[in-house]
Amino acid sequence: MREYTASLKREAERLLSEGRVKTVIAFGPGIDPLAPIPAFAEDKDEASDLLVNAFSAPGLAKYVLDEVGGVEKPEHSVAVLARGCDSLGIARLIADKRVQRQSVVILGVHCDGVIDRGKLLALNPAFSRTKNIKSVAIGEDEVFVEAELADRSAVSLRGRPEDLLLDKCLKCLERDPVVFDIMLEPEAGTMLGRETGPTPVGDRGGVDQGEKEKSLRARRSLVAETEALSSESRYEFWARQFERCIRCYACRNVCPACSCRKCAFDVPDPEWVSKCTWLSEQFMFHFLRAFHVAGRCVGCGECERACPMGLPLSLLNDKLMKDVEEMFGIEDPHVPKESEPLGFYSPDDPEPWAKEVSEG
């Protein structure tokens, strides 16, 4: 990822000083250089702490709902940093009428992927003592990270994207925001806090159709793999996943498509899903979650990233996304649209199951 922090700070300071927004949502340093944290700047000082880099893992879309969502006329506006996935989430909230478009200023930024801290540390635990990230380059086939450690020594690593990037970034559908107000400019020639250094292994930038196709293929092939399982093995697979779920609802709470005022899982009567984690309830929970985002999931992968128990939630989402794509002939089913295939009445809806039943 190129260096965008400078222009982020500049825009944030400008928007705040002009009074256009009350808050700018981006990232702040946090205790761990490998894990920037979501940050909310409200004045010049705070704006000067903002950053975005190749380790900024959390999605930011959901905060827009927290800050200005759910009301007709929010008292003020917010600005939010948005990579492709963030922008999809924001578009989702807008399409679901939970956020008003005019109450959010979207600071778009191109993204080449985010490094998975866990994967990096597994490859070289020394990075856990990172004081300062010196350089990052993310290329088509290679990722390079160099850091300065607490004892001033340097450590670097070169690896394949699949071994270093977040899973969700390996399946990224939009590297550039689908909706934005201001597109942040990268600092000329700089790579993440470094003036000179190793030539970036691949400096992409711009929309890359081929990249998207690759991601789609990756998603489809994972879905196809599960579809190919016998129903018994498929049941066994999902039962194992669902059994492991601790129902912390991180997946739901980070999801930009889960924006209800009161989630069905929190409604006491009727009790759609009990707090009891019996397998039947686990299935019910996961079916409900998946179906409630069906046709609306933007494929941002936040649910899977947030899940502490490693459930392959994207697999479920992608399966439904694929069905929507195929049954309704929807192009780019992850992009929120004016009218969603599952969101209107049509007497000619496809009903493949009805066909299956009638054909025996």
Partner 1 sequence: MRISEDRLLDLLVDTSERMAVFAPLEEDGLVLLSPFTKDRAASWARPDSYVNTDNTPKDVLMPQTEPYLRFEGDGRRMAVSEVAVGPLRQTFVFGVRPCDVRAVELLDRVLIEGQFRDEMYARRRAGTLIAAVACSKPGPECFCGTMGISHLGPAVQMTETKEVDTPSGRQGGVSPENPGCDLIFYPALRGEAGDRAGTGAGGGCSDTAATNTQFIVVSITERGDNFLRENGGYFEASGPDDLDATVRRLKDTFSEDGPSSVTDGLSLDGLVPYLAGQFDNPYWAFVSRRCHSCGACTYVCPTCYCFAVVDAARIDRGVRSRCWDSCQFQEFLLMAAGHNPRPTKKERVRQRFLHKLQYYPEKYGDYMCVGCGRCVKKCPVGLHMTQVIYDLGCIREGVRVK
Partner 2 sequence: MKRIGVFVCWCGFNISGTIDVKAVASALADHPGVVVAKDYKYMCSEPGQAMIKEAIAEHRLSGVVVAACSPSMHETTFREAAQAAGLNPYMLEIANIREHASWVHPDDKIAATRKAIDLVKSLVEKVKRNEALEPIHVPMTKRALVIGGGIAGMQAALDLADGGTEVVLVERDSHIGGHMAQLSETFPTLDCASCILTPRTAEVGRHPLIKLHAYSEVAEVSGYVGNFTVKVRKKRTYVDWDKCIGCMDCMAKCPKKIPSQFERGLGIRKAIGVAFPQAIPYRPVIDRDACTYFKTGKCRICERVCSVGAIDFDQEERVIEEKVGAIIVATGYDLAPKAKFGEYGYGKIKDVVDGLEFERLNSSSGPTEGVIKRPSDGKIPREVVFIQCVGSRDVDKGNSYCSKICCMYTAKHAMLYKHKVPDGQAYVFYMDIRAGGKGYEEFVQRAVEQDGVLYLRGRVSKVYEDDGKVIVRGQDTLSGENIEIAADMVVLATAIEPQRDSRNLAQILKIGTDQYGFFNEAHPKLRPVESMTRGVFLAGCAQAPKDIPETVAQASGAASKVDVLFSKDDLVVEPLIASVDEAICSGCMWCEPICPYHAIEPKTIEERVGKKSVARRVASVNAGLCQGCGACSVACRDGAMNLKGYTNQQIMAEVEALCL
Any contact of residue 275 with partner 2 (CB under 8 A)?
no
Instruction: With beta carbons less than 8 A apart as the criterion, state whether 316 and 288 touch.
Output: no
SS3 334: coil
The Cβ-side half-sphere exposure at 124, using a 13 Å CA radius, reads 16
Q: Count Cβ neighbours within 10 Å for each residue of 56-94 and write b for 16 or more, e otherwise.
A: bbbbbbbbbbebbbeeeebeebbbbbbbbbbbbbbbbbb
Any contact of residue 303 with ligand SF4 (CB under 6 A)?
yes
Any contact of residue 31 with partner 1 (CB under 8 A)?
yes
Residue of 37, 301, 324, 55 lying closest to 169 (CA atoms):
301
Stretch near partner 2 under the rule CB under 8 A, chosen from 12-20, 66-74, 81-89, 321-329: 66-74
Any contact of residue 290 with partner 2 (CB under 8 A)?
no
Token pair for residue 207?
């929309």
**What letter does residue 115 receive in the DSSP assignment?**
B
Any contact of residue 64 with ligand SF4 (CB under 6 A)?
no
Nearest CB to partner 2, comparing residues 123 and 260: 260
Q: How far is the CB of 61 from partner 1 (least distance, A)?
A: 12
Q: Which does 83 bind (CB under 5 to 8 A by kind): ligand SF4, partner 2, partner 1, none?
A: none
Q: How far is the CB of 97 from partner 2 (least distance, A)?
A: 5
Token pair for residue 149?
């450690």
Any contact of residue 201 with partner 2 (CB under 8 A)?
no
Burial classification of residue 225, based on how many CB atoms lie within 10 Å of its CB (0-12 exposed, 13-18 middle, 19 or more buried): exposed
Q: Which residues bind partner 1 (CB under 8 A)?
A: 28-40, 45, 49, 58, 62-63, 66, 118, 121, 125-126, 128-131, 150-151, 240-241, 244, 246-250, 252-254, 266, 274-278, 302, 305-306, 308-310, 312
Residues that bind partner 2 (CB under 8 A): 70-73, 96-98, 259-264, 267, 269-272, 292, 339, 343-345, 347
